[in-house]
Amino acid sequence: MTMADDEPREPSEDNASFQALDRDDVPGPGPRAVLLCGLPTTLQPALTEILTASDAKDHRVVFCTRDLVASTLGEALAAAPPLADALPPSALPPVVVLSGMTGAQIHGVIDRWRAAGLPAPIWASTTPTNLDFSLRALLRDLLAEQRAMARARQE
């Protein structure tokens, strides 16, 4: 393994793109966790209820910290930082990354989140490829993708 193999990967057009998600019952890659970035920690009770109702109560909730932003997505999802270390919502774009969930669970979480009237985040799920991405770069890429999709809708 070379030094380059150990470094976090950057998203590119070849390895990061939007894909529709089926309502299947096959868990996706990564630990059973939900990573929240740019969202208030006060959402944790509501998210816990949503996860329970979506048959995903065994998924941990992880709020993004300064240290996690410097890690890979996989490392961030496996971490268990104290809630008190969470970055304030103004520090990052609002992103929710769902890991280790089936398509049905992902759809359940998103549908219940919207029905609860919670702030609209950028949604993402783990893939074998993005688990090795730098979290900082992934957040930047997701925000750029969201902006491009919004511009396309306006045209």
Q: What is the pLDDT of residues 93-108, one digit of tens each?
A: 999 999 999 999 999 9
> What's the pTM?
0.85
Residue found under tokens 């509501």:
46
Residues 6+ apart with CB under 8 A from 41: 63, 83, 86
Question: Looking at the predicted structure, is the pLDDT value of residue 141 above 90?
Answer: yes
Nearest Cα residue to 137 out of 1, 5, 11, 7: 11
Question: Looking at the predicted structure, is the pLDDT value of residue 90 above 90?
Answer: yes
Average confidence (pLDDT) over 59-67: 97
3-class SS of residue 59: coil
Q: End-to-end distance of the chain based on CA atoms, in angstroms? A: 46
Q: How many CB atoms lie within 10 A of CB 145?
A: 16
- pLDDT, one tens digit per residue, over 1-22 is 223 333 444 454 444 444 455 6
> Binning pLDDT at 50, 70 and 90, where does residue 24 land?
low
> Binning pLDDT at 50, 70 and 90, where does residue 155 land?
confident
Average confidence (pLDDT) over 32-41: 97
DSSP code at position 114 = H
Q: How many CB atoms lie within 10 A of CB 118?
A: 16
pLDDT of residue 30: 97
